[in-house]
Each structure stands twice: as C-alpha cells, then as structure tokens.
Amino acid sequence: MILGVLAAGSLLIAFGGGLSAARRTFAVGLVVQAVGAAVLAVVGFWALAEGSAHGSDFTGSPTPHLGLDPLSAIFLGTLGLVAAPALVFSLRYLRNDGPGRATGALTAAFQLAMVLLLCARDPFTFLLAWESMTLLPATVILVARRADPTARRTVFTYLAITHLGGAGTWVAILLLADAGGLDDPTVIESGSGLQVAIALAALIGTGTKAGLMPLHAWLPRAHPIAPAPVSALMSGVMIKIALYGLIRIVVDRLGILPVWFGILVLAVGALSAVGGVLHALFQHELKRLLALHSIENVGIIVLGLGACLILRSRGAQTPAALALGAALLHTVNHAVFKSLLFLGAGAFEKVTGTLELDRMGGLLRRLPWTAGAFLVGSMAIAGLPPLNGFASEWLTLQSLLRVVLRGDTADGAAGALGLAALAATAALALLCFAKVVGLVLLGPSRTPEKTGPAGHPAGPQGSGEDFATRASTVFLALTCAVLGLMPGLLLAPAAAVAPWPSERPEGLGLDLPGAGNLPAPGLGLVLFALTALLLLLRGRRTAAPAPTWACGQVNEPALLWTGSGFTGPARVALRAVLRPQREVTVKSTGGVLQEVTCHLHVPQLIDERVYRPVARRSGTVAACARRVQSGSLSVYVMYLIGAVVVLLGAARAGWLG
C-alpha cells in the first residue's frame, strides 16, 4: 500500500515536471508537482509512524532493488514537506519562459533523484541517484543563470569539489557491498580496518556533499546562486540526504564503531557549527548568509550523530538512540526553517531587487505575511523557544551532556567541547539573526517601493506578496511552530529508527527516559497566554512614531545601522581567529578631506589557507601533465597502444595476479 502511494506521488512529480516544460501547462505542472510532493510527505511520515520496512531489503547485488524503511521515510517525509511549499512558491517566482520552464522540469527530476536515492536498496541504484542528485541542481543553476560567467565558474567549483570528495561515497558503498555489509551488517567486524576504512570514506564522501567543514567550500558559493525554490531544496533537503547516506552507513550498516571515530565526528560537527555561524555573522548577502548557516546546522546535526556514536560505543543504548533522534529531529527542523528563510529571501529579492543586507529594510511593513513568516524562521534558526530549532538544539545539548557523564576522559572532554561549541553556536546564531531581522525587516525601507529585481518579475501588485508566496511561507512558519510545540510527535519515531533496542520517549513534549523533560506544549501555552494578555492590555493603543535621536544631527540614511556596524564588536573580539582585512581609502583635495572609504572583509580562512594553495599547486602539476596532451589524434592512439602493451607485459610477467 505504502509503496503504491509512493509510486503514485513520484509519478505525479514526473508528470508535473513534463507539464512544467510546456508554456501552456507550466503553472498546472508546478501544482501537480506540489501535489506529488505532498503525497511523498504523507507517505514518508506515515511509514515513519508505522515503523516497519517495505519493499526490498539492502543487498550487495548490482540489480535494482527499491524499498522504504523508517530511516528513509523520515527523509522522504522531509523532502515532501519542503518541496510542496517550494513548488507553490515557484508559481509566482519562476517566469513562464525558457529558463523558467526548464527549471520547473529539472526541479521534478531533482526531486525524483532524491526519492530514488532514499529508496535505493542496492549499490548501483544508490550511486546512480547520488550522482544525479549532484548533477541536476548544477544543471538548474546553469539553465537559470546561463548568461552569468561567475555562475558557470561556481558550478564548476561545485562539481569539482563534490565529485572529488564524493569519491569517498563510492569507496564506502562499494567496499560495503563487496564485504557483504549491505546484505548483513554483522559481517563486518567491529574495530576492524575495513570497518574504519568504510566509515572514514563515508565521512569524507557524504560530508563533502553535506557541506561539513573543511569540505564545505562549494556550499556558500552554489546555494545562493540557484533560484530561491531550488536553493530551498538544496539547503533544506539535498544536504540532509547526504547526511542520510552517512547515517545509513555508519549507524545502520557498520555495527559499533570505535570511540575515536565518534570523537572525530563530534569534532567535525563542532568545527562546522562554529565555523559556519562565524562566517555567516559577517556576511552581507542574505542568501550567502543562509547558506553558511546551513553549514552551521549540518554541524549541529553531526554533533548529535557524534554523540550517538560515542554513546553507542559505550553501551548506552537509550541515550544513543535519543542522540540519533535529536540529530534526525534537527534534520527535519532545519529543512523546514531553512527552506522558509530561502523562500523569504527570494520574495525579498523580488521586491527590493537586491540581497544585500545593507540595502534592505522595512520589509515587515511592506510584506507583512512573508516577512512575519521570515521572522518566525529567524527565531527558529536562532534556537528561540518555543520554536522547532530550540527543541532539537535542546535535545542535542542533552545528548552531549550524556556523553560527558558517561564517557571516559577523552570522549568526556570531547563531549564538553561539543557542549561549548553548541552553546557558542546558539549565541552567535542569535546575534546573526538579530542583525538580519534588524536590517531586513525593521527600520525604514532603503529601496524604492516598486523596484523590479534583475531577472525576476515584480509581484502582481508590485509588492511580491501574492497568495502563493504567502501560503508557502506561512505554511512553513506554522510547521516551525507545530514542531516546536510538539517535538515529541517526531522524536519518538525518530529515536526508534536506531537499529538497536532502546526505551522510547513519550508524549508530545520532550520527556526523555532517564533524563529531564521539557514540557514544550505547556511552555507554548504559557507564552501564548502571556502574549494574549499583553495584547489585551495594550488594547487599541499604538506606539507614537517619533524620530530617532542622533545626537542632534539630522537623521540621514548614512547613519542607519549596517551589517558591519552591528557585528563590529564581535569582529574585534574575534580578530585573532578571523583575521579580518580592512582597507581604508582617504581622498583629499588641497589638504581638505573629501572622502573616506572603509572596506572590511572577513576571509574564509579554510579557503585562503587550504584550498587556494592546493588549487595553485594542482594547477602547476596540471600544467606539467598537459604536455602529454598534444592534441594529435595519432599520439593519443600511440598512448592507447602503449597502455595495451604495458598491461599485456605486466600480465605476462605475472604482476597482475
């Protein structure tokens, strides 16, 4: 039954993709795709609640096998939950022209590739879907921004890094299939070299795709340049499905891993969480800032996963299952609020024609519904109660506490560092989104009222806040609230995904066995009652508008807050770590000062210190290697002959076994 409905949803998406490619049926196609995605959401969460596997089991055979189990189901549900509103948003966001229609059709293919990956039960189908999931968004970006050479360069970087790093996924899956670990997870000995090799390869391969530091260099470049609904799918779902690959391999197929591997995962998660949010804090471009926050949130998920691996190695099965549940819950939560924020950014770009934080402002008045929803998303990503980000970060915190309490010296210290990293991340994320909300939603408008943005049509009334935009963003904001008030809805089945026996948490709140509890619905009710009381007390009175006091000066736009100004203290405090670059230009004529320009730049340290030197050296080696590339067909055939002769010679000498 479930597989039948899943097939129906996939067929609807495929059919909708076909319709989106035609001019007349473009909008209908997007709606059909959205319905298909909604069906996937229902199937995913239904299968998760049911808690049983459907279809084929995993096999090392190269023939196609498909199936669905609770771990796939939670990601499938997330895909549908994000894709449906993103497609509704596309109705007004995408133009009904060549690139718009191609984007609509390719979005369907992108979703289907992700569905195939989640349902793949053999190595061939898994790797086929994995590569398709990499290539399709690259194609979307190239189609949507075909006239932009920078976008082409970015796609090249994205493909190069994800393919180089993604080799780890191939190695992990093929080694796993060869050892029989796909058929039976118990055949790989715990602590063996093979187990460790597979786990490390999986961490590199899937970590690259998920944007884990230091393999993240492609993410802040590629995600912001995609059309907003595709950015939402990439940041909200695609990188999570990469984490699905990691969880599937290291949790589901490899048995109990050594403690040090859990510590390594924890360290990578901490680095990504803190590094991502630090770089996001000093970003001036909204979508790039959101992309960097994806790195931070992937780091938080991986912190939970690291805690799960350590706790499992220590034999603490229930806390390990809860840590896995925390990681999975944050996966769903991040998908929801990040896609909301990307859709909001797309709507703001439509209205203001820019994504520069310092050129936005006053959008809460101009787009009350969309900006209101964006505010909810900002509060959720900043980890404020009673929203979903708070619930899953609190759970991750609890899991890290268990690592400290149950671990040995090394893993206890790692858990403590993880806790510190999570606390710092939460604080910095709050600071960052206070900046975003202040600059983008509040204050006066810094752009003309009816600006048509480059590449996107203005909304029907020039406002950009049409029904599709409102409906999609408000739906996601409500989902943030529901998942924040009732996290137990997902936590119990998510913790039950763990392939070992454990106690399940109960209730709609966060009632953890053997630990504290967080009565989230109760807290929500109290907050709701307090807000209602304040509104009641305020009555019809409103704050009287008054000019801001500026020390007696005239209030000029130049005196408005900027992103750099807001984060200045943090930049100064973290100067030793971030190495900000400051360039001051002074122009004076005849000894009289005319203009002072200050350009501040916070470099991506891993890019500057790791990738750039590696790329430079690779370029030198490639230039040498290029000498053998003569451009002569005859020479190439000679190479072929040489290779055949060498191989036959090696075979004759018995070197090939």
Which residues make up the interface to another protein (CB under 8 A)? 629-634, 637-638, 640-641, 644-645, 648-649, 651-652
Q: Token digits for 408?
A: 């040995």
CB of 559 or CB of 640, closer to another protein = 640
Neighbouring residues of 192: CB distance < 8 A, sequence distance ≥ 6: none
- Measured between alpha carbons, how far is 262 from 614 in angstroms, rounded to an integer? 28
CB 657 → another protein: shortest distance, Å?
A: 14
Least distance to another protein from the beta carbon of 655, Å? 13
Round to whole Å and give the CA distance between 144 and 147: 9
Nearer to another protein, 527 or 648 (CB): 648
- Which residue, 37, 35, 94, is CA-closest to 347? 94
Residue closer to another protein, measured from CB, 420 or 644: 644
Nearer to another protein, 548 or 632 (CB): 632
- 448/631 with CB nearer another protein: 631
In the chain, what is the straight-line distance between the N-terminal and C-terminal CA atoms, in Å? Answer: 50
Kindly state the smallest distance separating residue 156's Cβ from another protein, in Å. Answer: 17
Instruction: Give the orientation angle of helix 70-93 with respect to helix 467-485, to 10 degrees.
Output: 150
Phi/psi of residue 355, nearest 5 degrees:
-115, 5
Cβ neighbourhood burial of 63 (10 Å; 0-12, 13-18, 19+): exposed
- The contacts of residue 431 (CB under 8 Å, 6+ apart) are 281, 567, 570
67-68 and 510-511 as β-strands: parallel, antiparallel, unpaired? unpaired
Q: Tell the smallest beta-carbon distance from residue 645 to another protein (Å).
A: 7
CA separation for the pair 414, 419 (Å, rounded):
9
Residue 512, by phi and psi: left (phi above 0), alpha (psi -120 to 50) or beta? beta
Amino acid identity of residue 510, one-letter, is: L
CB of 634 to another protein, least distance (A): 5
Residue 557 burial by CB count (10 A; 0-12/13-18/19+): exposed, middle or buried? exposed
Looking at the Cβ atoms of 420 and 656, the one nearer to another protein is 656
Shortest separation between residue 624's beta carbon and another protein, angstroms: 16
In contact, 29 and 16? CB cutoff 8 Å: yes
Considering beta carbons, is residue 420 or 646 the nearer one to another protein?
646
For the CB of residue 246, give the shortest distance to another protein in the complex, in Å.
40
- Give least dist CB 635 to another protein, A: 8
Cβ–Cβ under 8 Å, residues 210 and 272: no
Nearer to another protein, 596 or 650 (CB): 650
Residue whose entry in the numeric block shows the structure tokens 């926050």:
293
For residues 541 and 626, which CB has a smaller minimum distance to another protein in the complex? 626
Cβ nearer to another protein, comparing 532 with 643:
643
Peptide linkage before 444 cis (omega within 30 of 0): no
Measured from the CB of residue 648, what is the shortest distance to another protein in angstroms? 4
Question: In terms of CB distance, is 549 or 655 closer to another protein?
Answer: 655
Query: Which C-beta is closer to another protein: that of 150 or that of 629?
Result: 629
What's the CA angle centered on 68, arms 63 and 73, to 5 degrees?
140
Tokens of 442: 């509040």
- Residue 499 CB, shortest distance to another protein, in Å, is 43
Q: Which residue, 586 or 622, has its beta carbon nearer to another protein?
A: 622
CA 379, CA 434: separation in Å to the nearest integer?
A: 9
Structure-token match 């055979």, residue found: 61
* SS3 state at 386: coil
Angstrom distance (rounded) from CA 649 to CA 655: 9
Buried b (16+ CB within 10 A) or exposed e, 464-492: bbbebbbebbbbbbebbbebbbbbbbbbb
Rounded to a whole number of angstroms, the minimum distance from the CB of residue 151 to another protein is 23
Cβ distance to another protein smaller for residue 156 or 500: 156
The minimum distance between CB 630 and another protein, in angstroms, equals 7
In angstroms, give the least distance from the CB of 646 to another protein. Answer: 10
Least separation in angstroms between residue 629's CB and another protein is: 7
- Helix H or strand E encompassing 510: strand 510-511
Using an 8 Å Cβ cutoff, are 41 and 12 in contact? no
In whole angstroms, what is the distance from residue 2 CA to residue 8 CA? 10
